[in-house]
Amino acid sequence: MKKKHLFLLFIILFLFFGCGSQKRVIKEDGLEGIWRTKEPKYSDCSLALTEDLIIFASGHIFEVLDAFLLKSIDVNYILKVRKTSKKGKEDLDLYTIYYESMEKQEFKFSFYFDPSDGGKIIFKNQKQIEWQKEGELKIKIPKDDQWKMIHDASIL
């Protein structure tokens, strides 16, 4: 009986602590912030990452009186992050972000990260284009539980 309780406790602790820590890799590895590319085709596009959100935007993400100056914005809730260490020609880690849209559709987004020279993100499907960190996202983003509540209500 004791073994069964210990096993259940282990499972609960693993789920509680193990799953939640997956998203911390975004902050710990220096991925948090606003990313842009010099590629002319995407000159008006931005990508922003926090521990809880992945944001794709057309226009420029920056803070002006707590507002975004954007043409369009796609805010998504991060469900989990998988990091795979690569050994080989590029020696770059592969990150896969699993996220959910406001419409409750699930997607995944994969990219390589090169931490040298301030950091570069290279999309898995566009290896010829590099995205550089432009800065930090300075507007207030709700904490995980607050965001989840807003997201579930679909009122953002």
Walking along the chain (156 residues) 10 residues at a time, the average pLDDT comes out as 46 44 81 92 89 82 46 84 77 93 92 91 94 79 53 46
Q: Residue for token digits 């539980």?
A: 145
Strand ranges, E, within 85-136: 93-100, 106-114, 120-123, 131-135
Please state the domain extents for the chain.
Answer: 24-153
pLDDT score, position 67:
46
Vertex 18: Cα angle to 12 and 20 (nearest 5): 105
Judge whether 94 and 110 are in contact, CB under 8 Å. Answer: yes
